[in-house]
Each structure stands twice: as C-alpha cells, then as structure tokens.
C-alpha cells in the first residue's frame, strides 16, 4: 500500500520509515528508527528528488507509481547519492528508463564507483548556481560539498520556496505519519536525536555547514520549506532549527552545563563522579549530566559533548593508560572536530595514576581550542574524606569558569 503525504499542493513526500535497522551507518543506534525521505513534484514535468535506502525501495516505488498514475517520470534529481538515499536509483532507472537524471559530476562518478548502472541513461550534470525549469517550478542547484559527502548539493525551488537540503537539517527518528516538525513536540521529543544525527554524521564538517548556512542566509526570506533526507519537514519556525545548526557547526555549546563522563571498573571512579555532581548541584549548577562511558553508546556521548559547555573526564588508569572506552570517546571528539569546551579531570590509579596526565595531553594536543582547568582530583583506588578539599576546589573551579 502506498503511503504518501502532501508537502505542498503539488509536492509529495514519497519516502519511507525504517524501524528494522538497528545501527545507522552500522555504528549509531537508532532506537526510534529513521526515515529516508524522497519527494515527488507533479509539475508539467514529473520530478523525483532523491531515492531511498535499498530496504525501503518497494515502498518508494509504490508511492511514486501511485502518484504518477499513467504519467511518466521525467526527471530524477539526486542531491546526495550515499546509498541510504541513492541505492534505489538503479531500480528507478529500470522502471522509468527514459527518466533524465540530474546531479553533480562527482555524484555520477560515485554512482559508477558503487556500481550503479547509470550509463546509457540521460545524465544531466549541474553545478553551483545552475537553474532548471520543470514547468511552473524553477529550481536552482547549490553545491553543498561535505554536507555530508563531497558530491552533495541542495536544490532550491524558487516557485514554492522548498529547499531540498539533502543531509542538512536531518534527524534520526522515524516519522510514523507525522511529516512536519510542527506536528511533533520537536524540542521535547526530537532535538536529542537531531543533535545526535548531525554531530555524529556531519559534525566533522562544521565549516562546510557554515558555508551552506551562509548561502542559505542570502535567501532566508524565500525559504518556506526545508525538506531534508531524514526526519521531519520544516515549514514553521525555521529559525529555531537553523540556529541549532549554526551553533553545532560553529562548535559553540547550546547550554551552560556539565557533562561528567566516567570510566569506572569497580564503582570507585563512579563514586567520585557522583560526589562531584552532588557538589556542583549544591553550588547551584544543576544542569549536570553523568554518563558511564562503558554503557553509553559513544554517539550519545558525542551529542552531549556538543550540547554542553563543560566536560569532566573521570577515568581509571588502565594498563598505564587511559581506560580504553574513555580513549575511544576522546578519539571520537577529535574525529568530529569538537572545539571550545572547558574540561576538568578526575584520575584514579591504585599504584601508578597516569590517566590525568594522559587525558590532559590528549585534550591539549589532539583537540582544538579547549581549556583544561588546573584543579584536578587525583584519587588512589577510592575517594576518601582526605580528598574533600580537592573535590571542593574542583567544583569551585568549574563553577567559577561557568560565570
Ligand atoms: Fe543520509 Fe549522508 O546520507
């Protein structure tokens, strides 16, 4: 059965939801599922904007066939050919062999690399600023390299103000019928998944998102709809989400608050983390969030690191190094280019505490534009009352740095 929704009178969402995939990109858990969005425009010409993951191909075909009826599919615009969107291109070409495919030079190159059988079909290569008319609707193609792959572009429909934004402005989470962001409580139920999606998938490419935002800034008053490839479509309060994207891509925290990430083998480092959390709350800083790095998927740790201004790393010493899972988390922060945070350190070691110096070295040398507070809590096996003053001054230093 087809499952479509109108975006505007002649533009339809023809994508699909996926609750069966557990790990997006085979890394990131998606307990709320994900949507693969594709859009069909019924103008004088018929135009499909992007396709879907292979697992959702049959749903896409049913949706498109239903809306087209007897009409042919004239154009296929591929903004982003990564297989979670491009895997169904071949099937579209098999069903509608006369369809003309519009995309970038690099996109066609990547399609061939992935083995998509596109040659023999009419391919229209477009670049930054090129325009096209489908009848009533005129579109402009805008290069969006590294948002999220180098071949990506976005398409702006100057007739109805729809921006087909590719991976930008996307989110984890299946739509389950609710196509528009204003049909859900986005700030309560979606923002964490939107942040986790953006920071883990495209976080590394903040400057490229900034470039795209700058281009969008020039036509902001003309953008009426943001149609991403994952998650809800935006037609109201666009500024709310654009502002989030601006902060994330500038690596500016959304909130003043403290994330305490601890690595604990027997609960003693955890106890120190909890003691610090309690002290901070006692001192009036209650936006405090405590995570066990061993049982929190790193994608959540990354997302929280982008949200909050302060990060406390509390780690045991393990094989004279940083606890491996904590090290993995730090490697993710490096890979995703997180910047502009204040760190505090708690180290634990029963005979040779090393993790504090090693974490300091990592933050100083491997991450960019970070501050590490001088106060450090160093414990031998477990936190005892003799360290109360050190704990107090660490909490004070954090509070002071948040002023
Ligand atoms: Fe959802 Fe970069 O693909």
pLDDT (0 to 100) of residue 259: 98
Same domain, 338 and 357: yes
We report the CATH number of the domain holding residue 278 as 3.40.50.360
Residue 201 CA to ligand 1 center (angstroms) comes to 8
Whole-model pTM?
Answer: 0.97
- For the chain, helix (H) and strand (E) counts, in that order, are 12, 22
Burial (CB < 10 A; 0-12, 13-18, 19+), residue 247, is middle
Nearest-CA residue for ligand 1 atom 3 is 82
Residue 244 CA to ligand 1 center (angstroms) comes to 19
Same domain, 67 and 213: yes
pLDDT (0 to 100) of residue 93: 98
Same domain, 87 and 175: yes
Contacts of the segment 88-94: beta carbons below 8 A, 24+ positions apart: 88/51, 88/52, 88/53, 88/54, 88/56, 88/57, 88/60, 88/61, 89/51, 89/116, 89/118, 90/116, 90/117, 90/118, 91/51, 91/57, 91/61, 92/48, 92/51, 92/61, 92/64, 93/117, 93/118, 93/121
The tens digit of pLDDT for each residue in 331-351 reads: 999 999 999 999 999 999 999
The residue length of the chain stands at 403
Same domain, 227 and 81: yes
Q: Which domain holds residue 263?
A: 255-401
Same domain, 145 and 196: yes
Same domain, 228 and 127: yes
Read off the pLDDT of each residue in 211-238 and give the average, rounded to a whole number: 96
How many domains are there within the chain?
Answer: 2
Burial (CB < 10 A; 0-12, 13-18, 19+), residue 98, is exposed
Atom number in ligand 1 closest to CA 82 = 3
Same domain, 239 and 267: no
Q: Max CA-CA distance within the chain?
A: 81
Bridge partners for 112 per DSSP:
none
Atom number in ligand 1 closest to CA 152 = 2
Residue 43 CA to ligand 1 center (angstroms) comes to 27
We report the CATH number of the domain holding residue 16 as 3.60.15.10
Q: Which of 249, 282, 314 lies at the terminal end of a domain, its last residue?
A: 249
pLDDT (0 to 100) of residue 247: 98
Identify the DSSP state of 143.
E
Read off the pLDDT of each residue in 144-159 and give the average, rounded to a whole number: 97
Q: Which of 221, 249, 277 lies at the terminal end of a domain, its last residue?
A: 249
Contact 170, 13 (CB under 8 A): no
Residue 79 CA to ligand 1 center (angstroms) comes to 10
Rounded to whole angstroms, the Cα distance separating 19 from 30 reads: 8
The tens digit of pLDDT for each residue in 389-399 reads: 999 999 999 99
Residue 84 CA to ligand 1 center (angstroms) comes to 6
Rounded to whole angstroms, the Cα distance separating 16 from 46 reads: 20
**Per-chain mean pLDDT for the chain:** 98
Pocket of ligand 1 (CB under 6 A): 80, 82, 84-85, 148-149, 167, 229-230
Contact 362, 330 (CB under 8 A): yes
- Cα dihedral 11, 16, 22, 27, rounded to 10, equals -40
Rounded to whole angstroms, the Cα distance separating 191 from 160 reads: 27
């Amino acid at each position: 059965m087809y499952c479509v929704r109108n975006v505007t009178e002649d533009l339809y969402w023809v994508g699909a939801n996926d609750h069966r995939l557990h790990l997006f990109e085979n890394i990131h858990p998606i307990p709320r599922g994900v949507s693969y969005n594709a859009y069909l425009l019924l103008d004088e010409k018929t135009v499909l904007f992007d396709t879907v993951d292979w697992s959702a191909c049959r749903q896409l075909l049913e949706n498109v066939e239903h809306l087209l009826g007897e009409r042919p599919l004239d154009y296929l615009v591929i903004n982003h050919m990564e297989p979670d969107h491009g895997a169904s291109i071949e099937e579209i070409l098999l069903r509608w062999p006369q369809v003309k495919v519009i995309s970038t030079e690099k996109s066609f190159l990547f399609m061939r690399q992935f083995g998509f059988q596109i040659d023999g079909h009419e391919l229209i290569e477009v670049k930054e600023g090129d325009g096209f008319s489908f009848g009533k609707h005129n579109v402009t193609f805008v290069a969006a390299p590294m948002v999220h792959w180098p071949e990506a572009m976005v398409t702006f429909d100057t007739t109805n103000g729809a921006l087909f934004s590719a991976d930008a402005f996307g989110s984890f989470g299946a739509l389950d019928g609710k196509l528009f962001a204003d049909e859900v409580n986005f700030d309560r139920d979606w923002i964490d998944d939107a942040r986790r999606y953006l920071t883990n998938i495209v976080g590394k490419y903040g400057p490229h998102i900034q470039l795209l935002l700058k281009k969008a800034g020039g036509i902001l008053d003309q953008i009426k709809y943001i149609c991403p490839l994952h998650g809800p479509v935006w037609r109201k309060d666009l500024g709310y989400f654009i502002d989030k994207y601006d902060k994330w891509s500038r690596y500016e925290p959304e909130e003043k608050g403290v994330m305490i990430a601890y690595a604990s083998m027997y609960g003693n480092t955890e106890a120190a983390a909890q003691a610090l959390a309690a002290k901070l709350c006692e001192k009036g800083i209650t936006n405090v969030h405590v995570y066990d790095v061993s049982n929190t998927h790193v994608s959540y740790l990354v997302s929280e690191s982008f949200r909050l201004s302060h990060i406390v790393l509390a780690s045991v010493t393990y094989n004279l190094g940083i606890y491996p899972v904590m090290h993995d988390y730090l490697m993710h922060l490096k890979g995703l280019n997180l910047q502009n945070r204040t760190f505090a350190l708690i180290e634990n070691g029963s005979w040779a505490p090393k993790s504090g110096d090693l974490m300091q070295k990592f933050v100083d040398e491997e991450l960019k534009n970070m501050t590490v507070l001088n106060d450090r809590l160093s414990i031998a096996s477990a936190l005892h009352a003799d360290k109360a003053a050190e704990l107090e001054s660490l909490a004070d230093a954090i509070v002071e740095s948040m002023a």
